[in-house]
């Protein structure tokens, strides 16, 4: 990940955040649109030891060189690298190590709870008991829509009266799924997709397919190799559907071995965009059935075989 103290994709929003006098911001926008990077840019500014002076009516910037800025830059790859940043994310695995069926941020992430299962090494109340090492403690809730009611209620008093002037940054893909009590106590920044030109401003060059699939979401391009692989698999499978059944099953088996639940569904829908509405609708239903089957730990090989049969029917090959 590019250091968050470097020029980002949403300078206008960063400027608003720098001027914000309060203690709770809600960053909303699609997945991979740059919410996390913007949040780290805000953390860097809040804790910079040598902020650059304001110029041209704009607020100052983080220096990018001090100990705090360097720690922020490391924090994406090394959680806990910055002593004044606590990232709270939804659980993605069960106690047995399997993928969780429903992401959730439980009350144990906010305050000590008997049934928290020790999923979080440090809860928010513990983190905010101490004064900042640098300038300001920041709690980043990545996936505010996953806060359950108990967790959201436990946060309310902290958000209203944060110890040591702490700052809360809530990230969400859908404001409508965030508890209203949290939304009402925050100032909202709507993080929108950016232009292709801005995404390539750093000198990187991406093909038109990658840029079109990214649809203004810079985070997609950070995974360009995975996305390109998913696109290749999607094209191979789609071409095989129009041939014999055995060829389609073989293509599905190859796809199964590399299937990524984030990138392959997006790649398949992108490849299907030129099909008729009826084909796209049927194919999308087949894809949703596959994802649901994989979610409940069904046999992957059998699920992909059924997927192929459903797709062939959607493409008029059944």
Q: What is the pLDDT of residues 226-249, one digit of tens each?
A: 999 999 999 999 999 999 999 999
109 domain-assigned: yes
Q: What is the pLDDT of residues 189-229, one digit of tens each?
A: 999 999 988 888 765 678 899 999 999 999 999 899 999 99
Q: What are phi and psi of 143, to 5 degrees?
A: 105, 55
Query: Are 39 and 181 members of one domain?
Result: yes
CA dist., res. 216 & res. 228, Å (int): 16
Q: What are phi and psi of 99, to 5 degrees?
A: -65, 135
Q: What are phi and psi of 18, to 5 degrees?
A: -60, -35
208 domain-assigned: no
Q: Which among 125, 175, 195, 176 is positioned nearest to 25, based on CA atoms?
A: 175
- Local structure of residue 64 (DSSP, 8 states): S
95 domain-assigned: yes
Overall number of domains in the chain: 2
51 domain-assigned: yes
Query: Are 182 and 261 members of one domain?
Result: no
217 domain-assigned: no
Q: Which among 287, 265, 286, 284 is positioned nearest to 275, based on CA atoms?
A: 284
Which residue segment(s) compose the domain that 32 sits in? 11-191
Q: What is the pLDDT of residues 100-136, one digit of tens each?
A: 557 899 998 999 876 555 567 789 999 999 999 999 9
Is residue 79 pLDDT above 80, yes or no? yes
Query: Are 151 and 251 members of one domain?
Result: no
Report pLDDT for 1. Answer: 41
Q: Which among 242, 245, 226, 227 is positioned nearest to 283, based on CA atoms?
A: 242
Report the predicted TM-score, pTM, of the whole model to 2 decimal places. Answer: 0.84
Contacts of 217 (CB under 8 A, 6+ apart): 30, 31, 32, 33, 34, 193
Is residue 98 pLDDT above 70, yes or no? no
Query: Are 121 and 50 members of one domain?
Result: yes
Query: Are 299 and 167 members of one domain?
Result: no
- Local structure of residue 142 (DSSP, 8 states): E
Query: Are 81 and 133 members of one domain?
Result: yes
Output the six-digit token pair for 136. Answer: 């300001």
Q: What is the pLDDT of residues 247-298, one digit of tens each?
A: 999 999 999 999 999 999 999 999 999 999 999 999 999 999 999 999 887 7
């Amino acid at each position: 990940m590019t250091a968050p103290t470097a020029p980002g994709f949403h300078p206008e929003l960063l400027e608003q955040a720098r001027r914000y006098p309060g203690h709770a911001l809600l960053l909303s926008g699609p997945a991979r649109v740059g919410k996390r990077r913007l949040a780290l840019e805000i953390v860097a500014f809040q804790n910079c030891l040598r902020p650059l002076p304001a110029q041209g009516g704009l607020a100052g910037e983080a220096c990018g060189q001090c100990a705090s800025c360097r720690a922020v830059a490391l924090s994406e790859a090394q959680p806990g690298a910055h002593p004044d940043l606590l990232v709270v994310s939804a659980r993605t695995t069960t106690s047995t190590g399997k993928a969780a069926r429903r992401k959730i941020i439980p009350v144990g992430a906010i305050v000590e709870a008997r049934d928290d299962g020790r999923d979080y090494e440090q809860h928010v109340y513990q983190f905010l008991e101490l004064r900042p090492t640098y300038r300001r403690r920041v709690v980043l809730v990545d996936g505010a829509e996953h806060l359950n009611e108990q967790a959201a209620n436990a946060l309310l008093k902290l958000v209203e009266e944060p110890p040591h002037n702490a700052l809360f940054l809530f990230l969400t893909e859908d404001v409508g799924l965030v508890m209203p009590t949290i939304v009402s106590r925050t100032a909202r920044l709507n993080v929108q997709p950016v232009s292709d030109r801005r995404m390539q401003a750093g000198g990187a060059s991406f093909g038109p397919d990658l840029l079109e699939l990214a649809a203004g979401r810079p985070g997609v391009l950070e995974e360009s190799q995975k996305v390109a692989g998913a696109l290749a698999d999607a094209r191979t499978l789609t071409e095989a559907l129009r041939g014999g059944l055995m060829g389609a099953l073989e293509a599905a088996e190859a796809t199964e071995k590399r299937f990524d639940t984030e990138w392959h569904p997006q790649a398949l829908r992108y490849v299907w965009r030129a099909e008729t509405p009826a084909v796209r609708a049927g194919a999308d239903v087949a894809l949703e059935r596959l994802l649901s089957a994989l979610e409940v730990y069904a046999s992957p090989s059998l699920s992909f075989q059924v997927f192929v049969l459903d797709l062939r029917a959607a493409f008029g090959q059944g």
